Amino acid sequence: MQGMSKGGKQMSLKDEEVRGRIARSAVDEIMIKTGRYWNIDIVDIRWYKDGKHTSKGVRMNMTELGHLYNILGRIVDGEQKRSRENDNESE
């Protein structure tokens, strides 16, 4: 995986694996990768434009990913509940 250090140099991951992609347009996408950096398992979620990574994204360890997963789950559950409530009101 490619990341940027403070000096602008590329940082690579060991055992890098692309886990998924979310396309926004023909040239913009989010790529989710896993790998090891300094002997720490990490996940990298980053925007790509024309196949090149941008500086927009986040890299975190697996413990931090678990916290993010829980937070996003609460957001999604709340939105689904709200959506069901709105559907019932229109009947």
Structurally, how many domains does the chain consist of?
1
Please, what is the Cα angle at 42 between 47 and 80, to 5 degrees? 65
pLDDT of residue 87: 59
Q: Which residues span the domain enclosing 61?
A: 3-89
pLDDT given for residue 89 in this prediction = 52
Q: pTM for this structure?
A: 0.69
Determine contact, residues 7/14, Cβ cutoff 8 Å. no
CA distance 76 to 6: 34
| Residue-level pLDDT, tens digit, the chain, 91 residues | 344 444 444 467 788 999 999 999 999 999 999 999 999 999 999 999 999 999 999 999 999 999 999 988 888 888 666 555 555 554 4
**Rounded CA separation 50/55 (Å):** 14
